[in-house]
Every structure is written in structure tokens, then in C-alpha cells.
Structure 1
Amino acid sequence: MRWYKDGKIDEEGKMIHPSDSEAWKDLDKQYPWFAQDPRNVRLGLATDGFNPFGNMNNSYSIWPMILVPYNLPPWLCMKEPYFIMSLLIPGPKSPGRDIDVYLRPLIDDLKELWESGVRTRDAKTGELFVLHAAILWTINDFPAYGDIYGHRTKGYCACPRCSADTPSEMLRSKIGYIDHIRYLPHNNPYRRSLKFNDVDGKTKDTEKARLDLEDMGVRSELHLNPVEGVKFPDGYASNISRCVNIKDGLRGYVQKDVLNAITELTSFFRQLCSRKLSSDVLDNLEKIIPIILSKLEMIFPPAFFDVMVHLAIHLTQEGKIGGPVHYRWMYPIEMYLGSLKGMVRNRARPEGSIAEAYIVKECLSFCSLYLHDIETKYNRDQRNYDGEEHPNATLSVFRSKIRTFGEAEFVQLTPQQYSSLHWFVLNDCVELDSYVREHKEELKQQHPIGWETRQKKEFATWFDNRIKKLRSIKSPEATDELIALACGPDYRINKCSGCIVEGVNSTGIEILEKIIHPRVHDDKDEEDDDDGEDETQAEYWSSDDEVASHAIIDSDLE
């Protein structure tokens, strides 16, 4: 529960945890007494309705209220064992706007946790302290948002951000949320574009969509021209979706402008949903999303743009306030609702079945977390476990944790691959930064042009001579590990199909198991040389019990 304070490594300009968000920092700034104790809990409140019977024809809706603790590290946060089902609103009907009546007991408990707190025992130190808690935000879909906050999610002012300024217009069958060019700068060329909503040949082709175009006076070529009395031969007017192969994607089936707009939209969501959010990236996404929506308005008719499409304009602002998206989206909650649905054994009393099974599961989880001598699903090695650091290594390149898998193939490095590999390892070792900078300055003094290429080719030899010179004068700077690193890797390597590095399963890379913990030994059986220097040998070696391999991507070996 103290990880965000004691264990998190801050990255400048990056948000990797809710503790990096503006909402978290604003809470700490307004209530410093709450921020003083890192054990105080920040919570998210999630809810959604689900049918416990799995039969959508049976209109039955149960609404659990789930608390999500955010003090936990990323690999535990948003995981099912740490969800707290604090309330279960029974069916058969959805609570709707009356949900505040059902939330009254939960709100009273949360107010008590905020104002007076609860005496709690610290499992790590054994001391008693007063625990406080606060709700940072809620997690729900857009219809549930309207029920919890009492905001209308339909109509002309459906957007909670824009409110009365929501860009909406009544169409034949629905309200369209269009005119996103208003979010563009005044000097943007799309504001003066005459092609807005007037691109040939692309439409969400329905009768009402074409009538909307006729009402707005645009895209006259797509207006309806009724044809009566037409008969087609058998099989002529078939389902065209059966005749089209979309295995190769959209490319080749849609025009370039349509493909570019859809590609930009997918790229927007890919960057927004990344594990690490950068403030610079969010600022850039905030600038391009109005352009993307304006391009879509030039392609699709107004009926395509419901409120869910419009809400994309505000997602970057939500990212700045709440941090990484995967701590606030509904996917883990929907999966949890699926597990609650599986707890129903008595179809006459689904709420009772869920409550009883939840209590049993919570007891088993609690016991499993504190049973250290018995293997449980909480203390066994994770699927992507990457091993332990070597206990005697001091250089980062020898401490790297990696676990290889797949059949190993014995290969021989070419001189070019060996040179690229050696430079990669030396440049990747943070302890050698001072040597890299010193060599760079020497190269710049010799010739300031092209020093990057020359450093990649010459640094290994320069570093080897430098360390051997320090070793000859018995300098403490020339440690055994630096000697081994200067000697370089073996030409013989084991090529595996993949590896696990920092908990991430990576395939299609070269696993170099010969870049291993260095073994340096002094040949004490031989006499010293005439100049009095010790004869030292260093080599890279590997064994089954001590492996500290390193992974090199294919392109780095070319």
C-alpha cells in the first residue's frame, strides 16, 4: 500500500500510475493532512449492471458497487483479488436515477473513513494507525454516468464537458453531434474547407441518413431517387458481405482519404491507451483529435456522429486529470462482472448466491495471501517470471534478469555481428557512461564530423586498452567485471525463440546466453612476467544455475 511512495521510480514528464495524475496531486495539495500518511487509501468507485442469468431475453439487472484501491503497484492494481464489492443492488429492475437511495450506506461509510478514519493495524510494522480513504473518481459507462451524477446523457446537451455548448443538431431520426471544426484554431485550413461533409462516394448508407443529407443540402449525388417496380434476377441482389474478402484489411477497398482518417483515429487511441502517458504526447493528441473528427465529418453523414463519437474530443483532458487509461477503463470491471455471473447457483435467488460465494472467495483469498509455506496462486512464480538478479554482480549489464524459452540453436557470430553486439552491450551499461563521454570528446577533437559512426567501431578497442592500462598500474578502477566487459563476448552464442525480460514476453529476438556473468581468475600457478604485472584471464561463461543473459534485437545484429 506504500508502493507509490516508497517503490515507484518517477520518470520526468511520464505518467505511469494514478499517483502521477493531476487529480491525485490536487487532492494532496488541498488536504496535506491526508497526504502525510502514504497508507491512506485512494479509491475508485466502479459500477455497472449485468444480467445474472446470461439470457438477454430475461430483463434482470443487478448492480454491484466495486471499490478499487489505487495505492497498489501496477501489477496488482485493477486485479480481481483486490476489488472490494462494497454493495450489491438487487434486481430485477435497474435502479436508474434512484441509485442514490441504494448508495446511502456506502456514502455513510466513506464519509466516516474520510472524516474520522478507522483504527487499523499495519501488517508490516505491527503498529496501529488511523486509516483514512478518499474517492478519486468513478468508473462506469456513459449511461451509468447519467444515473450516478444525475446528468442527462441524451438530448442536445448530452456532453457533460460542453454542457450547453454541445455541438448538436436535430436530424430526421436522432440528434447528431457534428461541427467539430469549432475546436480547431481559427487559422486552421479545415475551417475554410468547402469540402466539409461533401466527399463523394462514402456514406453510412441508410434511408434516413440520405434524407439527412437532403435536408442539409449537401452531397446531392447521394440524395434518394426512388425507383419503383424493379425486379432482380435470382441471386443478383445478394448479400455483398459474402462476396468481399476483407482478410487483407481496409487497404485496397476504401479510398486513401478514408483510410488515412481511420488510421489516424486508431493511432490516436493506441497512443492514448499506452502504459505510459507523456504530457507532450497528450498535448499533441489534444491538437490532432479535432482534425481527425473533422476529416470523419467530411466522409460520413451526420447520423454517424452520436455522442460517443463526440466524447473523443475530451479524452486527452481526461488523461491529464486521471493518468493512464487502463486504471480507469471498464474492461477489468466487465471481466469481474463475468466472474460474479458465474457465482449464481440458485436462479431464484441470484443476489444471495453472489453474496455467499463472494464472502467465501474473500476468505480464501485472505488466507492464501498469508500462507507463505504453501504454494497458492498468489505466491507462485508468475507466468512471465524473469528470474533473480545475480547476487555478486555489480554492473547493470550483468545484473539484468532474463529467462529464455524455446529450443536453443548454437550459432557463430560474424565479425560484423560481433562488433555490433559488443557496442550494444558497452553502450547499454550505464556504469560506462563516463568512458563513453571521454571517448566522444577525443573523437570530436580529432574530427567533429562523423564521430558517432567512428565511436561505434572504435570504442570497444579504446575501452579494452584503457582498462588494461589501468589494470597494469593496479588501479582499483579496473575491477574484474570491467576487465571481463572489455574482453568482449564469445563468438559462439545460443539463439533461442524468445525470452522474458522485466515481466514482458518477447519473441523473435536473439537470446545471447554467452553474455553472462563474468568469470575472472588469476593464474597463480604461473610466475609473474618480467615487468611484474599479474597475468589475468577473463572470459564470459554460462551455467544452468547462474544465468544473467542479455537480449539483443535482430536489427541490432545486422
Structure 2
Amino acid sequence: MDDDYCSWIEFPKSSKEYVAGIKAFLENAFPIYAKGQEMKCPCKVCVNRYWHLQTIIYDHLICSGPSPLHMKWICEVSHTKVDGSNDVMEGFEDNLGEMFKCTGKKFRDLENDYESLTNAEARKFYRHVREGKQPLYPGCTKFSRLSFLIKLYHLKCAHGISESAFGELLELIKDAFPDAHLPLSLNAAKNMIKDLGLHYEKIHACRNSCMLYWGDNKDKEECDNCGVSRWVLPAKKGSDASHAGQVIRKVPANVMRYFPLKPRLQRFFMCKDYSKLMTWHDVGRQKDGKLRHPADAQSWKTMDAIYPDFSSENRNISLGVAADGFNPYRSMNLSHSTWPIILVNYNLPPWLCMKPENLILSTLISGPESPRNSIDVYMQPLIAELKEMWEVGVQTYDALADEDFNLRARVLWTISDFPGYAMLSGWSTKGKLACPVCHYETSSHYLKHSKKMCYMNHRKFLDPAHKWRMDTKRFDGTIEKGHTPPILTGTDIEELLSGYVNQFGLKKKKGNSQKGCPFKKKSIFFDLPYWKHNPLRHNLDAMHIEKNVCDNILGTLLNMSGKTKDHVAARKDLQEMGIRKTLHPVLSEDGTHHEIRAAIFDLSNKEKDVFCSVLKNTKLPYGCASNISRYVHTKERKVAGYKSHDAHFILHYMLQFAVKKTLKAEVAVPLMRLSAFLRALWSKVIDLEEFKKLQTKIVEVLCQFEMIFPSAFFDIMVHLLIHLTSEAEVGGPEHVRNMFGIERYLAKLKSYVRNRSKPEGSIAEGYIAEECVTFCSRFLGGDETTKNTVCSTVFERGPTQAEYHIGTRRNKDGIMIHLEDADWKAGPSLCFVQ
């Protein structure tokens, strides 16, 4: 041994120095590690497996000597003073000591108070401190047992190694290196890693989603609303009829999983690098009047002005709440909808806040059916904790500042698709008043023959002096005198819903005080004291809007069966409305059916071939989009099967080339203007003065569409395009307020499913394991490549010099980098080969 305090262990077992060292070890170790009067013996025979009295351990160490695996630990403990003045976590290069320190629980405090610590969490933490400091093998200074196991688990998660392969790998390492201090089985390894992570709670719920057995209702056996039992009741079968309706084994009928928020927010400040990034929105953001981050937008600034006590601490966290359902079985034959509720941390830079490792899974609602309006029932624990985080906060240790502070949190808005918008906000997104932004002034018309609602009349958003307001021939035959509807504020909604009675579950109570109101409930978010002051409470999802608009455009231009909006019923609707007489259907010569004339947007077969060939043969930079050509079927002259990101790319870049070669200018120009509008809206950096121009552009584009396409084309998703500009101005850049990042995260949650009979349980366990690995990886040193495979490294980035360009480029090391993930002063333009 190099250290002087370890020299005694090299002396003969009969020497005074060796005996004195053993006595010092036992005197220091027993007050810390003993349970009652016994402690695990670290001799060569027992190898820290068997419990003995102090006198017996003394005899074993004198006769057999210490185990090589525990020799260094014996030396350290023999030198450690009982008051804990020596920090036993020092010595390894993996920063495990720093990780334990950043939790706010000092090792020396645990050492002194170990006998008084009776809770399971403290004992578990203390055990991992001991295991974490043990070397991987005798004499190893590079890895501890814990750090090596975590790095090995990194590889499993990153490369999808099966559990059986991982277990066999552990056995192989153990056989090849017998002195390696590793767990003997996969389950032992998983338990050791998961214990370092954060827990989740199982909360029982009514099978009809009426209530939670939580809080004051946790001991109830039946639902207060529908009277259904909390437990699964056995069915009536033959001789067992006497037991029908009786609970033989208490199995809950419905279980949700809640992941407590406070420790997960505190975890961001346990790593110095992330603690620095948590103030980026205030310290690192470039403040030049341009829109780069939600902190640059009106909503953030308004909330800061109303609540200056919150904004005075730049470490307080601003969150977004995202919700969506997915089928965990990867099969359309099985109907199952699992609903996770995910939190987005907007304190981080825009290139990190939507990364999977920075998203927080808050609630997991079990299927097989969507919770619909009753999602508020399952959100009660989250809202209660968010309310406490706003009013009280939680004491948090900041590793960068090396101090404790009171951490608070707030919710800025929700992110969801349009049906999810109705579930979270309470506004019905169907029928005459489907637009939640236009609210009671939504312009809608029922199409008798198409049997659907259409949403037109976009001229009311034009400037009052615009010439199109007086045009009766090319529009609906009237002079437009309307104006832009005012925004319905949170305070207005509270007044409208005062006295509204929420009704959840299947059994509804009669006598709703707000019958006929477009609100189906008062959202649970109004329980948050600040929610009514939020300028933007719910986001319209641009991803799904673009997908639906792309479907309408491609289906109508290519006249795809079942997708086109130009058909006989649509032409009859125009005839009944008395507009666009050139498009009215005519009776066939035999008088048996109606025929429709070619419209200005109709394409011949040759033009459809050219349109499809442009989409088919477009060459794109590597990595910026999927292979869209596989969705283009030239023989059938249709585009089908493409995903949301494909629609995003088609609308932004490819559509303009296709329509320029095939359509007349009257139709091609509005479609090209739509592409230019969407590209500008999705820019990473936007000048605030550009929003007025963008709003004028999209209003004119939709008005031009009204002159071209039939009324059936204008479903609610086409209409919502007109509100995206105002939401971006209030909320911030579009790419941090849409479902792209959330949908990718749902695919990751889906990959956790191992037990198909319990998908939600598999997801919860997989998330906890991944969460623990991500947390530990922020403290472990070593190869950065290994860390990047599981979670992105914490990297610094300078102020953005220009807008991002779509494409890829090689960095100085020759590695291909997406230009969306790096700042460049100039980037390659998008190249098309036609």
C-alpha cells in the first residue's frame, strides 16, 4: 500500500501493528455498519457475506486475514475517525462522490446518524454509498463496482441488448475475471441500478374513470359516483355462484401510475453542467428583440410581469404539459390506448428542451380506452403537486452554486393534437363552434350533401379596406363586414363557467347548470392560481395541422379516391349555396346521374405523372427527411402512407416545385405562398416585425383557396392555419410547442413494453431504469461516446448568428451533423434533381 495509514495491513498477523490496525477497524466500523451486535465479516472466508459478533470477526481477521476485495475498505475505515472527518467517497475517477454529494445527503451525516435512520430510503442510499466506493477488483482505481455496472447497463439500453444476453454477459465477465465484484444475476444488477433512480406511485382508480382512490378517498371500497367496486369481482360460474360478487383476492380494477414531480425537478440541479443550463433562458439567451425561445415571447413576459416574485429567481422552472394516446402493441388489430402525460422543461435551450432525456413522464393512464373528458380525474395528483410547487416550492440543492434555494415551478401551456385539445381545455372541438380561438364567433356552415361542417369566411380577417371584402362573385355572394374575433381570455372563461358542475365517468347526473355550453367541463388547470392569467393556455399543434392540410391538398390535386375534397356531393353543395356556377354539376344525357366539369385545379393524367415524378425523383440531403419516394405510387398516380414529418417536408419544400410544373398560376401561386409561410413560421429565429406580414400572407392565401377549391375542402384543420401566427407571436418558436418531439418520445415509451399483458407496468419500469441511467451518466467520467448513445451530452452553444438551414454538414472531425443541431453562419441550400 502506498498510503501510510494502509502500511499496517502488510505486517505479519502476529505483529503489534497488524493487531492495532484490526482493533481500530472494528472500533470504527461497528458503530456504523453493525445491526444490533453483529456485522458482516470481511475476512477471506466470509467475504462480507455472514454476520458475526465483534469478537468472532476479530478472530477471523487475525487467523484468515482480510478479503482482497475489502482490503482497501478496511484500511480506510481503520483510519477514519468516528466523527466522520474523513470522506470515504474520494479516490475514484468516476465522480460518484460528487453524485452522492449533489443529492444533498452528505456521507458523513449518514455515518453519524445511521443508527437513527429507520426509513427504507435512507438505508437504501447508505447501502449504495458503501457499494459505490468498492473497487471493481482489487487494486482497480478506474472503476468502482457501481460505475462499471452503470456503464455496462448503458450499452444494454443504447444497443437494445436483450435481458438474457445481458445476464449471460455478466456471467462471462464473472468467469473471465473471478475477482471482479459484480452481481451474479441480471435481476440483482437491475435492482442495484433501479434503487438509484426515482420511484413512482400506483394509484387505484374507478374502472369508469369517475374518481381516484387517492387523498381522502384512498380507503374507500366503492366509487362515489357510479357505485362500482374498487376491485375486480369474480364472474358467476356454476358452483361458484355463492362467491359471485365477492372479492376473493383484492385486485384493483384500474390503476394509474404517477411519477412524483419534485425530485425530478430537483435532479436537474444536481449536475453542475445542467444547473448552468437551467438558467440559460435568463443568462445565456441572446436578447436582441428576435424570437428564439419562449422567454422572448409575450406569454412568458406577461407572466413575469404579473408575478415578479417568481421571475426574480431565474432558477424557477417553466413547464409545458403534453398529452397524447398511443397503442403500445405496435399492431392495429388490437385496440388499446395508453395515455402518458409528459412535462417539457422550458428553462433549457431550445435545442435541448425537447430531447427525450429532458422530458419528464408525469402520469401514465392505463388503457384500453382513452380517458376522454375524465383525464382531469387522473391529473389530480399532478395539479396538486404543481399547485404546491407554485405556492410553497421545495428546498433544492444547486450543485453549481453549492447552496440550497427554494425551487418553484409553473405551467405555461399544454401541447396536444386537436382531439387532445378538447380533453385538456374542455372546449368541444366539433360542430359549429369547433374553433377554440374564434370561439363563439366561429364562421361555420353545414354542407347538406357532403354531410360535414365547413369553416370558411376568412375575409373577416382581412384589413377593413381590402378589396376582397366587397367581392361577391368569387366568394359567397355577400359583402364581408365582419372583423377578427377577440381572444377569449382565461378570466372570461372563468366567468362563463362560474357554477359549472363537472361530471366525469359513465353515470351522469342530471341538471347541469350550463346545458348547451360549448365547454364540456371546467378544466382542472384552473385550479392553478395563475392559470387564468396565461395568455396562451393551450397550443394548436402545427404538426397535425400540416398533416391534414397536406392530405387535403394532395388528395384533391391528384383526385385520389376517398381523399379528394372535389366530388359530386361537394359540387351539389356549391349549387345549393348559389356560388361558383361554373362548378355546378350537370345532369347526364340519360338523366341517371350528375356529372362534374373540370375545375381549374384538376390535373390531366400526364400532369399527374409529372407531379408524382417530381416527388419521386427529388434528391434530399442525407438525414434531413425519410425516403419520401417510397410513398409515391406513379402507376396509381397517388401519394399514400407518408408520415407527419414527410407531410411537413412536402409542404415546406417539395410541393412548390411540383405545382409549378403542373398547375396554372392561379392555383400554383397560393400553394407556393403557403409553403413560404410555413417555412417562415417554423424558423428557429424570427424577427417580431415579421409576424404582421405572415398573418397578412396566410389570410390572403386562405381567401385565394376559397376562390379555387370547393367548400368541402375547408375542414377545421385548414381553418386553424390562420391562428398559428398569433400563437407563435405569443408563445414562441413553433418547433418547441408541437408534437414532433412528443411523438418521438412516445415511440421510446412503446419500446419499453416487454410484457404484453401489462404494457403500462413495463413502460413504468423501463422508464425508471432509463431515468436512473441518464441521471448517473451525467456524473460518470470516461468515454463520451458511450454517454451519447443513451443521453445527449451537455454541450455549450454560442448565440445563433443566422437562421438554421435544413441539411447536413461534416464537422472538423468528419462526423455528419444535422444542421438543425448546430449553429452555422451559412448552410447548404436544399437541392432538387428534377
Give TM-score scaled by structure 1 length. Answer: 0.66
- Aligned CA distance change for structure 1 residues 344 and 506 (closer, same or farther; 3 Å): farther
- Aligned CA distance change for structure 1 residues 53 and 506 (closer, same or farther; 3 Å): farther
Are 2:462 and 1:184 aligned? yes
Q: What SS class does the counterpart of residue 348 from structure 2 fall into?
A: coil
Mapped partners of 1:278, 1:245: distance in 2:
37
Instruction: Check the 8 A contact 1:404/1:500 in 2, yes or no.
Output: no
Offset at 1:220?
2.6
- Where do 5+ consecutive residues of structure 1 fail to align? 231-238, 390-401, 408-497, 510-558
Instruction: Check the 8 A contact 1:86/1:106 in 2, yes or no.
Output: yes
The one of 4, 8, 11 aligned to 2:288: 11
Q: Any idea what the Cα deviations from partners look like across 1:21-54, whole Å, max 9, x if unmatched?
A: 1111111111111111111000000010111112
Show the counterpart of 2:357. Answer: 81
Are 2:398 and 1:122 aligned? yes
Offset at 1:216?
1.0
Instruction: Check the 8 A contact 2:566/2:713 in 1, yes or no.
Output: no
Mapped partners of 1:366, 1:74: distance in 2:
20
Q: Any idea what the Cα deviations from partners look like across 1:243-300, whole Å, max 9, x if unmatched?
A: 7232231223211111000111111111111001211111111222211110000001
Mapped partners of 2:390, 2:330: distance in 1:
38
Are 2:635 and 1:359 aligned? no
Q: What SS class does the counterpart of residue 572 from structure 2 fall into?
A: helix
Mapped partners of 2:797, 2:441: distance in 1:
56
Q: Any idea what the Cα deviations from partners look like across 1:295-347, whole Å, max 9, x if unmatched?
A: 00000111111111111111111011101111101100011111111111111
Offset at 1:195?
4.3
Q: Any idea what the Cα deviations from partners look like across 1:456-502, whole Å, max 9, x if unmatched?
A: xxxxxxxxxxxxxxxxxxxxxxxxxxxxxxxxxxxxxxxxxx99995
Mapped partners of 1:224, 1:297: distance in 2:
18
- Aligned CA distance change for structure 1 residues 384 and 295 (closer, same or farther; 3 Å): farther
Q: Any idea what the Cα deviations from partners look like across 1:413-470, whole Å, max 9, x if unmatched?
A: xxxxxxxxxxxxxxxxxxxxxxxxxxxxxxxxxxxxxxxxxxxxxxxxxxxxxxxxxx
Offset at 1:226?
4.1
Q: Which amino acid aligns with 1:119?
A: Q
Mapped partners of 2:324, 2:753: distance in 1:
17
Offset at 1:65?
0.4
Q: What SS class does the counterpart of residue 610 from structure 2 fall into?
A: coil
Q: What SS class does the counterpart of residue 251 from structure 1 fall into?
A: helix
The one of 240, 245, 250 aligned to 2:610: 245
Q: Which amino acid aligns with 2:753?
A: V
Offset at 1:6?
1.7
The one of 745, 753, 757 aligned to 1:348: 757
The one of 347, 366, 391 aligned to 1:90: 366
Are 2:312 and 1:62 aligned? no
Matches within 5 A, 1:75-224: 75-172=351-448, 173-197=451-475, 204-224=565-585
The one of 716, 720, 726 aligned to 1:311: 720
Are 2:439 and 1:30 aligned? no
Mapped partners of 1:30, 1:120: distance in 2:
25
CA RMSD, Structure 1 to Structure 2 (Å): 3.4
Offset at 1:84?
0.2
- Aligned CA distance change for structure 1 residues 206 and 388 (closer, same or farther; 3 Å): closer
Show the counterpart of 1:555. Answer: none
Instruction: Check the 8 A contact 1:168/1:178 in 2, yes or no.
Output: yes
- Aligned CA distance change for structure 1 residues 245 and 379 (closer, same or farther; 3 Å): closer
- Aligned CA distance change for structure 1 residues 366 and 241 (closer, same or farther; 3 Å): farther
Mapped partners of 2:372, 2:303: distance in 1:
30
Q: What SS class does the counterpart of residue 318 from structure 2 fall into?
A: strand
Q: Any idea what the Cα deviations from partners look like across 1:353-410, whole Å, max 9, x if unmatched?
A: 1001000000000011111234355569x99999999xxxxxxxxxxxx944779xxx
Instruction: Check the 8 A contact 1:385/1:500 in 2, yes or no.
Output: no
Instruction: Check the 8 A contact 2:394/2:406 in 1, yes or no.
Output: yes
Instruction: Check the 8 A contact 1:386/1:500 in 2, yes or no.
Output: no
Q: What SS class does the counterpart of residue 100 from structure 1 fall into?
A: helix
Mapped partners of 1:279, 1:24: distance in 2:
15
Instruction: Check the 8 A contact 1:384/1:503 in 2, yes or no.
Output: no
Instruction: Check the 8 A contact 1:61/1:91 in 2, yes or no.
Output: yes
Q: Which amino acid aligns with 2:739?
A: M
Instruction: Check the 8 A contact 1:209/1:303 in 2, yes or no.
Output: yes
Mapped partners of 2:732, 2:828: distance in 1:
32
Q: Which amino acid aligns with 2:420?
A: A
Give TM-score scaled by structure 2 length. Answer: 0.45
Mapped partners of 2:572, 2:435: distance in 1:
26
Mapped partners of 1:325, 1:387: distance in 2:
22
Show the counterpart of 1:545. Answer: none
Are 2:279 and 1:2 aligned? yes
Mapped partners of 2:585, 2:434: distance in 1:
31
Mapped partners of 1:347, 1:319: distance in 2:
40
Mapped partners of 2:578, 2:468: distance in 1:
19
Q: What SS class does the counterpart of residue 586 from structure 2 fall into?
A: coil
